Structure 1
Amino acid sequence: MQKPWTALAAALASLLLVMLAPPLAHADDVGSTTEYVTISGADDTDLKALVITPTGRPGPHPLLVMPSAWGTNNLLYVGAARRLAYESGYQVVSYTSRGFWDSGGGIEVAGPKDVTDARKVIDWALDNTDADPDRIGMAGISYGAGISLLTSAVDDRVKAVGAMSGWSDLAASIYPNETVSFQTVEMLLAVGRITGRLGDDLEHVEDEYRRGNLQPALDIAPERSAATKIDLINANDPAVMIAHAWNDGIFPPGPLTDFYSGLSTDKRLMLTPGDHATPEAFGAFGLPNETWESLTRWFDHHLRGVDNGIDAEDPVRLKPNNGSGGWVTYPDWESVTATTDTHYLTEPRRSFERWQSTGGLSGDPATGWDYDIRTGVDTLANSGTLLASGALQQFADIPTGVSLPFVNRYRAGVWTSEPYEDGATVSGAPLAHLTVTPSRADTSLFVYLYAVDRYGTGALITHKPVTLRDAAPGEPVAIDVELDPVVWDVPAGHELTLVVDTKDPRYTSESRIGGEVEFGSPEDDPSWLSVPMA
């Protein structure tokens, strides 16, 4: 018996086909047709697809294959696909990834069967449409982006890839620095159960996760991570465009910038304000969108041979995460950072201006001090809410904020710089080097960097969690925490502030009430914060 949402998806697809069907036209009219089909994937699993075919153009046509995102179906890209077909002559196949909605099978989390599915969709298109076997591209959002990259590692027919809001390292995304990204994991599992059927591997992973055992998830992650297959991708040499949001709460941008730097293919990187999939979502429906416009130019150049100048442009294109600044371009990721400000942490103390204990970020090393905080209780400092916070930053320029005077200093360490009188631009990935002494073997820390005005109101620039596991209680340990990369314009007169506490609602914390963490700065290894600047 069909699940209700399977029947619903089929009905919606049929309705959309009627809406999108062009009027009867002469053979030489330029347009497109849309057909709902079933394609046999791995293990003969039925994959439901929309096939958008250009009309009025001589073939063969360059082929674009688009796997659906997590929890969505083949309707996701139909607006963009139709534009690609009738404006540029692409043969497009948008299909529902296995395990979701109207497709069969179970959710494999971009496993080998998903890659085989994508290759079989290519096979089907070459056999059943007027697609050109020498001009094949893949594109997708989120889950579809991951499957596209993974397919390009094993199928040299894929000549170009567009990966929007995807991932390169699955473990680093959902388990950053050995800290569970709780809101992400729970949302993905819930959406998977609502919109599809979990495969055997995912069922086992969830069962063990509920028992507190993350090892099965970590075991399957490398096979599902393009970062582990970068040599294969480089060998196949597809042209890869990556588009992502600074505040992506599901797949943070840090691993992707590392992946981008390791690519030796023709490549392009776009980073812009927003959260998971928000920068390109409207473009998927066919509305005007900067990401999709760039992606179309990318495919036009690499699949249609159009001399549109995209190959002469700086490939790294960044839009500041705050304010109304436009795109800034660079020849490579390494050029994003021009200089680095190194701030040494000083002992937190009370003063007339700061009624709670606050340390400084100094130009000179400050050693020999220690400062204790209690663990297991949250403070006002946090990373915001999955999807909502990044969207507010993108559409309303409203950052995740904090009132610094009210951050509980018994529960957090706080260090602040002198004001940047002329302003500054943070550009790259900040790095915090800290010496901490936990009272328990397992302790989570959450590291935040804020831009703070003279009234103590802070805007979150970037953050990162880190969990100490199996540490020796009472023994100091030096840790390096690389925060997620960002471009952030610090207004004139604002300070940079580093906050470290032990709870954050976005993540699972190993910190418990009753524990302590001591911050220090040994003479032979001062604590510091390195801030990349444009």
Structure 2
Amino acid sequence: MAEAYAWLDHHLKGEPNGVADWPKVCNQVMFTYTTEPALAPGTGEPTGENRIVTPARRELRSDWSEVTRATEVFGLTGDGAGGADGLLLPVGGGAPETEGTGWRRAFLAGVDTEATAMDAIMKTGRAEWAGNPKIYDTRKIDRRHALAWTTEQLLPSGGEETAGRRVRGIPRLRLTVRSTATSASLYAHLLDVAEDDTARIISHEPLNVYGLTPDQDTTVTWRLQAAAYDIPSGHRLMLVVDSKDPLYGDASVTWTQTVVGSPAGEPSFLELPLG
């Protein structure tokens, strides 16, 4: 907050407070702070929450072009045997290929799921800033109203790297969609999934699609929110797409059907920025 006020003081009031000399990019790497149990004043009893004792790590860059040093592309597959989630498969050569195309997956739109940006306006964000991020149980995400794709366990690429993946920059997603309505909302959530199937959010972004013609495909591409996040070694990356989130307005029509596909000419993919 102090930095935000300093930035406003400089750019709106013209105060010479050193803001002009700040690096152009200052990424705070999510959840790299350390915490300890918070104690209730007076009693010293644990409150069940944490408090931050060491701030999250920051990475200073002189230009945005220095943040993302490479990209990794994952192709989306259809669902697995028995209706299991689809897979996010690494694609060679840095561009989508025809592998994993020709499928369609459907869900009932207009119903919120456990995959939400926050449970309560402001409260979820304030809790995260205090060292108490929202924990998702990915098993509770209702697959009747959402679609999910997951990678295999992510391992370090070698050298001095210890994280499974160092996400740095703006993820990009392409899907082909059709609906029984003339409009649809797509909410994309990227989750870091631990071995016990609990997860923390990396990035998300909504997209409202209008002018749809039932039974006709429309291919859409959109950028998710920028992120600086280290996925621990052995964790998995999950993409969840649903149609409603209380944080945003939406164009979904309740109980209509949204179908996501990956035609051979325009395969669906997730582009992950790496730093």
Q: How high is the TM-score relative to the length of structure 2?
A: 0.79
Structure showing greater Rg: 1
Checking the alignment, whether the CA contact within 8 Å between 1:316 and 1:333 is kept in structure 2 is yes
1:323 aligns with 2:32: yes
Checking the alignment, whether the CA contact within 8 Å between 2:153 and 2:236 is kept in structure 1 is yes
Structure 1 pair 480–458 and aligned structure 2 pair: CA distance change class (3 A): same
Shift of residue 443, structure 1, vs aligned partner: 1.3
Q: Give 3-state SS (helix, strand or coil) of 2:220's partner.
A: strand
Shift of residue 297, structure 1, vs aligned partner: 2.6
**After the TM superposition, which residues 54-453 of structure 1 pair with which residues of structure 2 at under 5 Å, given as runs?**
141=5, 145=8, 160-161=10-11, 296-298=17-19, 310=21, 314-324=23-33, 325-350=56-81, 357-364=84-91, 365-384=99-118, 385-396=120-131, 398-422=132-156, 423-453=164-194
Distance 1:344 1:511 in 2: 26
Considering fraction of residues, name the structure with more strand: 2
Q: How high is the TM-score relative to the length of structure 1?
A: 0.42
Distance 1:393 1:514 in 2: 33
Cα RMSD of the aligned pairs, angstroms, is 2.6
Shift of residue 513, structure 1, vs aligned partner: 2.4
Shift of residue 140, structure 1, vs aligned partner: 7.2
Q: Give 3-state SS (helix, strand or coil) of 2:144's partner.
A: coil
Distance 2:134 2:257 in 1: 27
Identity, in percent, stands at 27
Checking the alignment, whether the CA contact within 8 Å between 1:450 and 1:459 is kept in structure 2 is yes
Structure 1 pair 140–418 and aligned structure 2 pair: CA distance change class (3 A): closer
1:454 aligns with 2:195: yes
Shift of residue 141, structure 1, vs aligned partner: 4.9
Checking the alignment, whether the CA contact within 8 Å between 1:431 and 1:480 is kept in structure 2 is yes
Structure 1 pair 140–425 and aligned structure 2 pair: CA distance change class (3 A): closer
Structure 1 pair 140–326 and aligned structure 2 pair: CA distance change class (3 A): closer
**RCO higher in 1 or 2 (8 Å CA, sep ≥ 6)?**
2
Shift of residue 512, structure 1, vs aligned partner: 2.2
Structure 1 pair 490–469 and aligned structure 2 pair: CA distance change class (3 A): same
How many pairs align?
238
Match of 2:274 in 1: 533
Structure 1 pair 140–412 and aligned structure 2 pair: CA distance change class (3 A): closer
Match of 2:46 in 1: none
Shift of residue 438, structure 1, vs aligned partner: 1.2
Q: Which runs of 5+ in 2 are unaligned?
A: 34-55, 92-98, 157-163
